[in-house]
Amino acid sequence: MPVKGVGHITVQDAKAKLKDKNIQFIDVCTPVEYKANHRKPFKNIPLAQLANQTKKLDKSKEVVIICQTGMRSMRAAKILKRQDFEKVTIVKGGMSTWV
């Protein structure tokens, strides 16, 4: 189910944003998945820990979320929107589409 107020971008769009210091890049994969396949500057905050880790994030800055396929990103977006994050964006297809 789509989450109201959450944007969706392609991997190409995400790559274009990587150098933007005003964006927070979060990978919600498990630590094992993250270690096996991650991209800088994505920081690993596993989905299971996200609700308790949001204090480390700035609610006024955009958050770009990625996971393996996009399913956990959707759940992560719901968590962030419930906690009043203003701009939340999901990378469509997740790391499985990163080339």
Stretch 42-64: mean pLDDT, rounded? 96
What is residue 2's predicted lDDT score, i.e. its pLDDT? 64
Higher pLDDT, 3 or 92: 92
What's the whole-number mean pLDDT along residues 53-73?
A: 95
Average pLDDT of the segment spanning 35-62:
95
Superfamily of domain 6-97: Rhodanese-like domain (3.40.250.10)
Read off the pLDDT of each residue in 43-48 and give the average, rounded to a whole number.
Answer: 98
The domain spans of the chain are: 6-97
CA dihedral 17, 14, 45, 54 (to 10 degrees): 60
- The strand ranges marked E within 1-99 are 6-9, 23-27, 43-44, 62-66, 88-91
